[in-house]
């Protein structure tokens, strides 16, 4: 896991990522934004999940942790939309 941003992007925020919108059922990956303090565990970095609901400006994400499904509340700047393949 990378602990630093590159020198050119250090301290900068992409406002389009900060204000991005998701729909219920979208598949997302958790990508920690280094310039903002995150309130979720670091073990979630790189995990994928499904959006269940929106709470305020954050989203409730359902992530499978080992064998259990857990819910985390994560801000949209830490999320990246991905394509979900059908099984």
List the one residue out of 72, 70, 71, 74 whose CA is nearest residue 58: 74
Domain 15-81 CATH assignment equals 1.20.1260.10? no
Between 78 and 87, the higher pLDDT residue: 78
List the one residue out of 69, 42, 70, 39 whose CA is nearest residue 57: 39
d(CA 63, CA 28): 10
Place of tokens 């598949």: 27
- Predicted TM-score (pTM) of this structure: 0.84
Q: Where are the domains of the chain?
A: 15-81
Q: What is the pLDDT of residues 39-72, one digit of tens each?
A: 778 888 899 999 999 999 999 999 998 899 999 9
Strand 79-81 and strand 27-30: the pairing is antiparallel
Q: What is the pLDDT of residues 13-35, one digit of tens each?
A: 888 888 999 999 999 999 988 88
């Amino acid at each position: 896991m990378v602990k630093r941003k590159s020198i050119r992007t250090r301290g900068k925020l992409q406002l389009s990522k900060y204000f991005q919108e998701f729909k219920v059922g979208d598949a997302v990956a958790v990508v920690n934004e280094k310039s903002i303090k995150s309130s979720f565990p670091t073990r979630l970095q790189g995990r994928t999940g499904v959006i269940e609901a929106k709470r305020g400006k954050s989203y409730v994400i359902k992530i499978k942790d080992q064998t259990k499904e857990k819910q985390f509340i994560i801000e949209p700047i830490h999320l990246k939309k991905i394509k979900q393949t059908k099984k």
